[in-house]
Amino acid sequence: MELTLNQTAQDADLDVLRATTPFRDAPDALLRTITSIARRARHAAGERVYTAGDDADDIFIVVSGIVEHVFTPEVGARDPLKRMTGGGVFGWAGLLLGQTKRLATVTASEPTEVLRIGAEELVKVLESDAAAGNAVMERFASMITREFTVPELLAQVRRLSGRPQPEEMTTLGLTMYRLSLWLKSPRPYLMVVGFALFLGFWYLSVEVWRLPRFKEMPGITAVIKEWLSPNPTYGLSFYTAEYYQHIGMSVWRVAQAFFLATALGVPFGLFLGWSRKFKEYVFPVFELLRPIPILAWVPLAIVMFIATESAVVYLAFLAAFFATALNTMLGVESIDESYVRAASCLGAKKSQVFRHVILPGALPFIFTGLQISIGVSWFSLVAAEMVSGQYGLGYVINTSYMMVRYPTIVIGMITLGVVGYVTSAMVRIAGDYLMEWRVRELALAER
Amino acid sequence: MDLRAPEPGGPAVTRGHILIDDVVKVYDPEGAAVMAVDHCSLDIDAGEICMIVGPSGCGKTTLLNAIAGFHDITSGTILLDGAVLCSKERPKAEPGPDRIVVFQNGALFPWKTNLDNVVFGPVMQGKLTPKEAVDKGRAMMADAGLAGVELNYPGEVSSGMRRRVEIVRALMNDPKVLLLDEPYRALDSLTKSVMHEALLEIYYKNKVTIFFITHDLEEAIFLGHKVAIMTTRPCKPKKVLTVDIPHPRDYGVLTSKRFRELIEETNDAVHEEALKAFQAGEKEG
């Protein structure tokens, strides 16, 4: 008998929950768990339910009757006064980010029955089913901004812990979301216009107007025709294996140079920034070698490495190494002394300071260095390939010039542009992945 | 605000007694000896909030750095609970988790979440396992009204919240002394007033000795058991005032008669030093 009574009471609570905005679409199992932590309470007409500034513990759902809900002016609600009848949800301050006090005063205007749910318990229940729980929290957030006219800045709900957040659920989802935002902004369309203008100018200046100095250039139609032809006149197009051999060779050389430069340059730069003594020994030499243009190294590189292959990689490595090491050193030096002091106050040993403060603190600079490093390693690679080497995009450009295959020069150049862009984007993405804190901070600053 | 009143004076605190005895600090950049602290003596009781008031650049921070172990002293002694922190023989104290600094511009690690910042101390020292530290950290954050921002990065929460996180990070180590270097300087006055009450609330729950540097006299008298007004460079106590307004205090104190009297009593001394600092600055400039 007792059991069935309990059962019907729970079912009644279930119906109440289902009639509210935040819980409307939540699965039954979750709602049942919530009813088990909910309890009913009655308030007489004119009775104060809670006052602004009280501790925000429970959330309330009106079962019957009417309550009057008045925000304090600090909240900045467009509509500070709200009357609520059955199904109205209030007392949600406990679900907000960093909010522990009531933001409003609530009074029953007539005899009212409410359902009370402890905010902390509710959060625990929601955390047990992360997907549905996050959906409920999101509905709370939109209800607070829409129905309660609270500014969005205040209406940020807590993040459920334990399980991945919806925005973190998949990187793919996040990327798709960013992509859709990007497509909605004017930026992609301006970009298309920019490309169209550039290509249009190329076409007109070379093939239509035949401007002096331009008329000897390979025209856009000739280049595209050559590029897309299964039987290219000069031997290089999308359909020839040789084209991919050249790309592959250049990418492989840059990859070797870049990874070597990173593996040596980052520790070297960290050490330069970390130890004053080491810097005093090494930095003057470093600063003297750094400004020497890479092309000036070519003869020595060929003498040093008899094989042309390692000479080419060495040249690309050298440029990348200097950029990486210098930026890493600057990164370490840019770290605010307070962070190091705070860590030593908190009992961190020197090695722990290095691991938890110096390394992450220098990371933004390190990645700036890596962006530069991948750029200069392409730059010096192509220079080196032009001077010596048998494959690679630099070699293609140089030999095509000597053999008067002009469209192939342009194919080589554009390919370099695309491949270079892709590699540098990869470095940027790796950086964003490692520095989530920074991405979020910047996103906030933009808002 | 509910400041669940502890007994007047609070539970007897037996640790965190700082004795600054005749400390001198001379900076010597290129032979031009600059005296930053001049024969300074100050006795701070265990569990006391001691406010150090003086104009900017008067040498207050030098004193704090000596206690924290960031800088050496030239002569004199600083004792913590009878043990020598630094003296003429051992001029630089070892920084450690018994004396934790909350920095002027905040020093939460921006690359760690608030919770990871909070658990940093005990985990680094190996005092707690990461699991225990996380449990304790969450509980202490919830206690300080920081539930819900554990997994956010410091850059994502308000500056007032960041300061609270930083104080919780310090308290996680169960320190004897908190050293606060103008922690609320960068905050607007509304946030500041909320932060004062929040600090007192945290203090009533976790009694520690607080060494609090400020240039704001009202802040000093509102928060402190003891207010030391410092002379401008070289720095030493000009006047040490015991604030006889009973704790727990709330913002009602600001309008009380006694508060106004204490302000009047000390205002001249502070103004005089500010003027001296200003004139010295004019001369140097």
Q: What is the pTM of this model?
A: 0.70
- CA–CA separation, A138 and A169 (whole Å): 15
| Residue A99 CA, distance from chain mean position | 27
Contact A346 B2 (CB under 8 A): no
Domains annotated on chain B, with CATH: 37-98+175-271 (3.40.50.300)
Comparing CA positions, the residue from A143, A130, A141, A136 lying closest to residue A31 is A136
- CA–CA separation, A174 and B218 (whole Å): 49
Phi, psi of B180 (to 5 degrees): -110, 125
Res A168: pLDDT: 47
For the domain made up of A218-446, give the CATH fold: MetI-like fold (1.10.3720)
Least confident of A233-237, A264-268, B121-125, B231-235: B231-235
- Token digits for A201? 């100018």
> Rounded mean pLDDT of B176-196?
84
Interface probe for B, chosen from A123, A167, A346 (most Cβ of B below 10 Å), is A346
Is the pLDDT score of A435 beyond 50? yes
Comparing CA positions, the residue from B135, B112, B150 lying closest to residue A160 is B150
Closest Cβ opposite residue A345 in set B97, B149, B150: B97
- Token digits for A192? 């298309």
Strand partners, A114: A41, A62
Q: Which chain B residues have a beta carbon less than 8 Å from that of A168? A: none
Is the pLDDT score of A163 beyond 50? no
ipTM for the predicted complex comes to 0.87
- CA–CA separation, B149 and B165 (whole Å): 10
- CA–CA separation, A411 and B36 (whole Å): 69
- CA–CA separation, B196 and A137 (whole Å): 32
User: Which residue would you say has higher pLDDT here, A89 or A11?
Assistant: A89
> Tens digits of per-residue pLDDT, B66-79?
999 998 888 889 99
Contact B155 A440 (CB under 8 A): yes
Q: How confident is the model at residue A173 (pLDDT cuts 50, 70, 90)?
A: low
Res A433: pLDDT: 87
* Cis peptide bond prior to B248, omega within 30° of 0: yes
> Tens digits of per-residue pLDDT, A138-152?
888 878 877 777 776
What is the rounded end-to-end Cα distance, in angstroms, of chain A? 58
| A154 and A74 Cβ atoms separated by less than 8 Å | no
State how beta strands A81-84 and A67-71 pair.
Answer: antiparallel
3-state secondary structure of B6: coil
Is the pLDDT score of B2 beyond 80? no
Burial B159-171 (b: 16+ CB within 10 A, else e): ebbbbbbbbbbbb
Comparing CA positions, the residue from B195, B240, B234 lying closest to residue B221 is B240
Query: What residues in chain A have their Cβ under 8 A from chain B's Cβ atoms?
Result: 53, 55, 96-100, 120, 158-159, 161, 336, 338-339, 341-349, 352, 356-357, 360-361, 363, 435-438, 440-441, 444
- Token digits for B249? 């205090």
Architecture of domain A2-169: Sandwich (2.60)
- Token digits for A165? 């957040």
Measured N-to-C along each axis, helices A28-37 and A119-128 cross at an angle, to the nearest 10 degrees, of: 150
- Residue type, position B1, single letter: M
